[in-house]
């Protein structure tokens, strides 16, 4: 075989191998899937089984994903035929909106709820009702509620306007005229100084003239889960509205 140009043959084989490597595998209907290659077929492929898990995709790369679905713009990446909840499914958008758009069912740990209040009266009683939105996990014991008078400075639990340490409700009276503070009540009960409910609280004052008025703001920082669920003084009883004092 002295007439064979071995150099040209070698170059041709290498070039052919490169072409075959670069071109995706075009599979025909019924052909097996070739691993490590791009498989293209213009036929519907169905994987059907009768086990607890028909298809399982695993990727051990700590930064990799197990499944990537690419579609043309405007098309859904997949379809389902069940409305059953998928455990541990973390989706980014719901109806095109991120989770920050929706209000949680309960206030979250570390979240600070704030509000403003104002009341005026005719010389008898002044009342303001405030609500927690969203509601708290549980009520606030009376021992963790603080009413800060105007120009009285701050305390450790209430470091400043619209601020409160975790688990404490701080009510800052910015202005008082011809009023005296009576106490705090649960939003659905007229019992004074019995703590706040998980839904809110009321502030009560007594006015001494027809020009009685008061205004200010409040803050509450949500503590760790269960931090406020404690029984205080002996004889009290714990409810979702807070700690009720003994009769």
The average pLDDT across 33-58 equals 82
Looking at residue 235, its pLDDT comes to 36
Structural domain contains residue 36:
no
- The token duo for 85 is 């909840």
Is 23 part of any domain?
no
Residue 21 vs residue 82, higher pLDDT: 82
Q: Is 10 helix (H, G, I), strand (E, B) or coil?
A: helix
Task: Give Cα separations from 143 to 2, 7, 22, 218, 234 (angstroms).
Answer: 104, 93, 74, 16, 14
Q: State the pLDDT confidence band at 227, using cuts at 50, 70 and 90.
A: low
Question: In the structure, what pLDDT confidence band is assigned to residue 103 with cuts at 50, 70 and 90?
Answer: low
Decide if 134 contacts 127 (C-beta within 8 A): no
Q: Residue 188 has what pLDDT?
A: 60
Across 8-25, average pLDDT: 46
Angle in degrees, CA 217, 156, 218, rounded to 5: 10
Residue 97 lies inside a defined structural domain of this protein: no
Per-residue model confidence (pLDDT) at position 237? 37
At 205, is the secondary structure helix, strand, or coil? strand
* Residue 125 belongs to a domain: yes
Closest CA to 186 of 240, 126, 115: 240
Does the pLDDT value for residue 140 go beyond 70? yes
**Torsion on CA atoms 61, 64, 67, 72, rounded to nearest 10:** -150
- Confidence band for 114, pLDDT divided at 50, 70 and 90: very high
**Share above pLDDT 70 across residues of the chain, in percent, rounded to a whole number:** 75
| Mean pLDDT value across residues 178-187 | 87
Q: Is the pLDDT of residue 101 over 90?
A: no
Instruction: For residue 137, give every residue at least 6 positions away whose Cβ sits within 8 Å of its Cβ, in sequence order, or none.
Output: 106, 107, 198, 222, 225, 226, 228, 229
Is residue 37 in some structural domain?
Answer: no
User: Band of the pLDDT at 25, cuts 50, 70, 90?
Assistant: low
Please tell me which residue, 89 or 112, carries the higher pLDDT value: 112
Number of alpha carbons in the 13 Å side-chain half-sphere of residue 3 = 0
Does the structure show a pLDDT above 70 at 229? no
Q: What is the mean pLDDT of the chain?
A: 78
Answering whether pTM is above 0.75, one says no
Q: Which domain holds residue 195?
A: 112-230+239-244
d(CA 247, CA 226): 26
Per this entry, what is the length of the chain? 247
Q: What is the mean pLDDT of residues 204-208?
A: 91
Q: What is the pLDDT of residue 14?
A: 43
Q: What is the C-alpha to C-alpha distance for residues 242 and 232, in angstroms, rounded to an integer?
A: 10
Is 66 inside any structural domain? no
Which residues does 182 contact at the CB level (< 8 Å), separation at least 6? 125, 192, 204, 205, 206
| Residue 214, H or E segment | strand 213-221
Provide mean pLDDT across the span 52-69: 85
- Identify the band that residue 151 occupies on the pLDDT scale cut at 50, 70 and 90: confident
Instruction: Compute the distance between CA of residue 156 and CA of residue 2 in angstroms, rounded to an integer.
Output: 99
How many domains would you assign to the chain? 1
Please indicate, yes or no, if residue 73 is contained in any of the structural domains: no
What's the average model confidence in pLDDT over 144-164?
A: 92
> Distance between CA atoms of 232 and 243, rounded to whole angstroms?
7
Residue 154 domain-assigned?
yes
Task: Tell me what pLDDT residue 231 has.
Answer: 36
């Amino acid at each position: 075989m002295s007439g064979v140009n071995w150099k040209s043959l070698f170059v041709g084989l290498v070039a052919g191998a490169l072409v075959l490597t670069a071109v995706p595998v075009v599979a025909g209907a019924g052909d097996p899937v070739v691993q490590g290659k791009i498989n293209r077929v213009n036929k519907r492929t169905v994987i059907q089984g009768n086990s607890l898990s028909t298809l399982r995709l695993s990727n051990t790369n700590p930064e990799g994903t197990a499944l990537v679905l690419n579609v043309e713009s405007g098309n859904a990446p997949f379809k389902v035929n069940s409305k059953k909840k998928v455990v541990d499914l973390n989706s980014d958008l719901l109806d095109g909106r991120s989770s920050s758009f929706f209000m949680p069912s309960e206030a979250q740990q570390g979240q600070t709820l704030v509000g403003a209040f104002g009341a005026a009266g005719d010389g008898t009683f002044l009342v303001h009702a405030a609500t927690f939105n969203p509601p708290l996990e549980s009520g606030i014991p009376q021992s963790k509620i603080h009413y800060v008078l105007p120009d009285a400075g701050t305390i450790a639990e209430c470091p400043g306007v619209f601020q409160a340490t975790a688990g404490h409700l701080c009510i800052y009276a910015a202005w008082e005229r011809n009023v005296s503070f009576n106490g705090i009540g649960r939003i659905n009960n007229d019992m004074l100084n019995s703590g706040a409910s998980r839904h809110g609280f009321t502030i009560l004052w007594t006015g001494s003239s027809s020009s009685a008025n008061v205004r200010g703001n409040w803050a509450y920082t949500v503590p760790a889960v269960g931090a406020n669920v404690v029984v205080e003084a002996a004889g009290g009883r714990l409810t979702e509205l807070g700690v009720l004092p003994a009769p």
